[in-house]
Amino acid sequence: KCMDIPKSLYQQIGLNCHCFPLRHSESAQLFQKLEKQLKFLAFQNPGPQVADFNPETRQQKKKAYMSQMKQKFFYEFTKKYDKHGRLLCNDTDLCDCLEIDCLGCFYPCPKCNSNKCGPECRCNRKWVYDTIETEAGDVISELPFFVPD
């Protein structure tokens, strides 16, 4: 007796689609291939990880990890000041007015309370002032030493 199996199913499992009586070995082979296909289609319980899945938490963890990676590999090369507002290249506590002997001529910084920070806090800052100029373009003060990129 010929089994009533759609032509597409025969093609999916790699058998000829001729309708003829199947021998025992062919039917066993067909049955094994069908079982294998059904096994791939069957639902598999992934466990408690999916039940506890929270996309927001995952995003937060990913963001924290990426932040750590940036700090480890890129951040050290781009910043000019350390966490205390001292220049990394020579450990100098230089005021943003660029005068070496200045004890601080700005209002206390709202972040670190230093009088040496200009409009932006020097702690972990990624840039330095290289000149202080008037609105007319006259240079009042220059960076007294070389700061590498």
Mean local confidence (pLDDT), 65-86: 79
The average pLDDT across 83-92 equals 94
Is residue 24 over pLDDT 70?
Answer: no
CA distances to 28, 45, 95, 132, 148 from 42, rounded to whole Å, are 21, 10, 69, 71, 61
For residue 93, pLDDT beyond 90: yes
Question: Can you name the residues that pair with 132 across neighbouring β-strands?
Answer: 141
**pLDDT above 90 for 5:** no
